[in-house]
Amino acid sequence: MAQKKSNVKVLNNEYYRQQTSSNDKKQQEYLVEKKHRRHMHILVAFALIVTLICSVQIVKNYTQARQINTQTRTAQKELTGQKSQNADLKLQVKQLKDPEYLQKYIRERYFYSKKHETIYNLPEDRSKSVTNDN
């Protein structure tokens, strides 16, 4: 295809040069502004990504802290129960070292009796028993 020859001739005068120079400046300013906007969009996107990552980490750490606090409370309760049980066992060991208590415990728990002795279990005796076993 042959190009069409234009009949328009450009005048190279002061006004034309001023207008083209002004248009070139506007075009250059537009390109700089467009580049600046693109950089700002990239910067904002980067800041949002960093913020999102930090937020996820904060939520994750918060969840872990709650789990650890729950585990700590559970362990504290278990420790308290174990200490109470340990104290009860120490008391029982101390009582079992006492011969009178031991004799009373064996007679009540295992129904041992002295010679010519009869044992009767009464309901009210059960509440006053030496052992607190049911």
Radius of gyration of the chain (CA): 48
> Domain span at residue 38?
14-127
- The pLDDT tens digits for 83-96 are 999 999 999 999 98
Q: Domains in the chain: how many in total?
A: 1
- Non-local (6+) Cβ contacts of 104 within 8 A are 130
| 44 occurs within a structural domain | yes
What string of DSSP letters covers 64-98? HHHHHHHHHHHHHHHHHHHHHHHHHHHHHHHHHTS
- pTM check: above 0.75: no
Query: Tokens 């190009």 identify what position?
Result: 3
| 86 occurs within a structural domain | yes
- The pLDDT tens digits for 105-121 are 888 788 788 788 777 77
